[in-house]
Amino acid sequence: MARRLSGDSRLGTIERRFLTTPIYYASGEPHIGHAYTTILTDVLARFHRQDGKDVFFLTGTDEHGQKIQDEAEKRGVEPIELCDVMAERFKQAWDRLGISYDRFIRTTEDQHKSTVTAFLQRLWDRDQIYEGTYSGWYCVSDERYWTEKDLGEDRTCPICGREVTYVEEKNYFFKMSEWQDALVKQIQDNPDWIVPEIRKNEILSFLKQPLGDLSISRPKSRLSWGIDLPFDRDHVAYVWVDALINYLTASGAIDPSRADGEQGFEDVALSWWPADMHLVGKDILTTHSVYWPTLLMGVGLPVPRQILAHGWWVVGETKMSKSLGNVVDPLMLRDTFGTDAVRWYLMREMPTGADASYTLERFLARYDELANVLGNLVSRSTSMINKYRAGLVPDAASNGLDPEVDHALESARSAIERLKVHDAFAAAMDLARAANVYIEERKPWAQAKDPELATELDETLATLARVLVVLCSLFQPVATEKMHELALRLGLDGVPTLEKAVAEDMTGKRLATGDPLFPRVHPEWMDKTT
């Protein structure tokens, strides 16, 4: 896929990546579904930074709509007070999970309100919006209208299963149906635009039926907590339209303060738009791959370059759901096992795009992988360099694991580009396994007993030091805290980029030992989580 380049007088041209999570609705607490999406995006962002790319990583909170208004009323507070509290909860959660976002956007920000206003005015001016009447079933929880066919016999929301309410009201509608053919062509001409393929096929199947027009407003008589329509102040923007536009707000593609026609609609070259990738759960794929691109077509802006719809975390055969009471708290896991263990489990256990089942047993198995393979390698290597060479990395002409290092780097980069994140870190762990095998084959403890094998011992120890630097760089996107600690033990100022890690001259550096990076699991830890 072609990537945008940005100029830098010192570095020449470098690739740019704009990655986004969905913005999370500010009516509930962060849970493992939110955490997975955000950590996945963070891992991709960190890997691209490690590979020398210029990255802009966006996340935030969605703060308008009926649910916010109702929840605030129930708590006896103003909607903005509720949003302030919840936005801070999400920020704190992401800080504790090591999320390196560049921008945390809130849809109650003045900049976003102005961008939404400019966007809707543009649609209106281009004759893409008309006034009409909606009559049918409405789900407050998901803030969506449904037809009789959608609801089935029990007349419950097909997403959340809650009861729906019959409403009849004036709305404004976006002429989404006019863009159906253009959307189908976009998908067919760009086979990797929606990934994985199963999700692309679902959208194409959905588009075989006539696409209706999209209600983009709610009357203030029912819902006051939202952004006013610029052409009718008695209506506010539908929360999903408002939320989707956040990507444009943060990108800098639209400057609402400028005159009409000069706001950035015609030229987005100096902004971050279009996004390189929207990462979303499969339950909101339709909004991102149907509503959003057609809205962008309606105002004359380019669509995002790619949309990744990941799967759900399930317990047994059941999706995690707050209403079912089976949601796993990622912060509880983090407090017990550490941030890196949570990030590692989520990235290694769920193949990108598929569903995955959470069990404590699988979590512990993945943790043991960190402790017994990577952590054990670090302890063995640093201990032997301290024991046999007083902590100083010896000089050695050759690296006994060069082929394995090259293969790991090639495999990891390829997997990331193919969005096979679990495979990228499997390749990193395979390199750690190869280094452990190398130790068993070389037997440095035996080499140390024979003065005639001093050169061979130097090569063994130098090889291990070099591999640790590469592993430090490879694992950094997922194990952020522990790789920073490892870098310090290796005598480095910080975790190097992949390019610098391969070229790093470790000769003469003093390596430190320390407590295990990933301590063995004790029985009382398991007691805490059951």
pLDDT in the model for residue 8: 43
Per-residue pLDDT of 202-215, as tens digits, reads: 999 999 999 999 99
- Which pLDDT score is estimated for 225? 95
Q: Which residues pair with 61 in a beta bridge?
A: 24, 106
pLDDT in tens, 363-387: 889 999 999 999 999 999 999 999 9
Q: What SS3 string covers 121-140? A: HHHHHCCCEEEEEEEEEEEC
Segment (H or E) for 330: helix 330-337
pTM of the model: 0.90
* DSSP assignment of 445-499: HHHTT-GGGHHHHHHHHHHHHHHHHHHHHHHTTTSHHHHHHHHHHTT-SSPPPHH
* Tokens linked to 47: 């890997």
For residues 426 and 412, give the distance between their C-alpha atoms in angstroms, rounded to a whole number.
8
3-state helix, strand, coil in the chain (%, to 5): 50, 15, 35
Are the C-beta atoms of residues 211 and 180 closer than 8 Å to each other? Answer: yes
CATH topology of domain 5-310: Rossmann fold (3.40.50)
In this structure, the number of other CB atoms found within 10 A of the CB of residue 388 comes to 18
Q: Residues 518, 341: contact at Cβ < 8 Å?
A: yes
Task: Report yes or no: 96 and 336 within 8 Å, Cβ to Cβ.
Answer: no
Query: What is the rounded CA–CA span in Å between residue 63 and residue 107?
Result: 6
The residue that leads in pLDDT, 107 or 358, is 107
pLDDT score of 51 more than 70: yes
Q: What is the pLDDT of residue 148?
A: 67
Average pLDDT over residues 21-29: 92
What 3-state DSSP class applies to 146?
Answer: strand
- Residue-wise pLDDT for 468-500, tens only, equals 999 999 999 999 999 999 999 999 999 999 999
pLDDT at 327: 58
259: left (phi over 0), alpha (psi -120 to 50) or beta: beta
Would you state the pLDDT for residue 363?
Answer: 87
DSSP letters of 232-280?
EEEEEE-HHHHHHTHHHHHHT---TTSPTT-SSSS--TTSSPSPSEEEE
Give me the DSSP letters along 89-132: HHHHHHHHTT---SEEEETTSHHHHHHHHHHHHHHHHTT-EEEE
Which of 90-94, 142-146, 268-272, 308-312 is the least confident region? 142-146
- Of 271-280, 347-356, 427-436, 442-451, the range with the lowest mean pLDDT is 347-356
Beta-strand relationship, 313-315 and 356-357:
parallel
- Cα–Cα dist 333/335, whole Å: 6
Q: Is the pLDDT of residue 12 over 50?
A: no
Cite the beta strand spans of 338-385 per DSSP E. 356-357
pLDDT at 261 over 90: no
Whole-angstrom Cα distance, residue 516 to residue 85? 37
Question: 102 phi and psi, to 5 degrees?
Answer: -95, -25
- pLDDT higher than 70, residue 149: no
> With 50 as the cut, is the pLDDT of residue 339 above it?
yes
Residue 523: pLDDT band with limits 50, 70, 90 = very low
Task: Provide the mean pLDDT of the chain.
Answer: 90
Q: Report pLDDT digits (tens) over 416-470.
A: 999 999 999 999 999 999 999 999 999 999 999 999 999 999 999 999 999 999 9
CA 258 to chain centre: 32
Tokens of 336: 């017990």
Residue 252: exposure state from Cβ atoms within 10 A (0-12, 13-18, ≥19):
middle
Residue in 187, 189, 179, 193 with CA at minimum distance from that of residue 276: 193
Domain boundaries, the chain: 5-310, 360-503
Sign of CA dihedral 321, 322, 328, 334: positive
The CATH superfamily holding the domain 360-503 is Isoleucyl-tRNA Synthetase; Domain 1 (1.10.730.10)
Structure tokens at 118: 């400019």
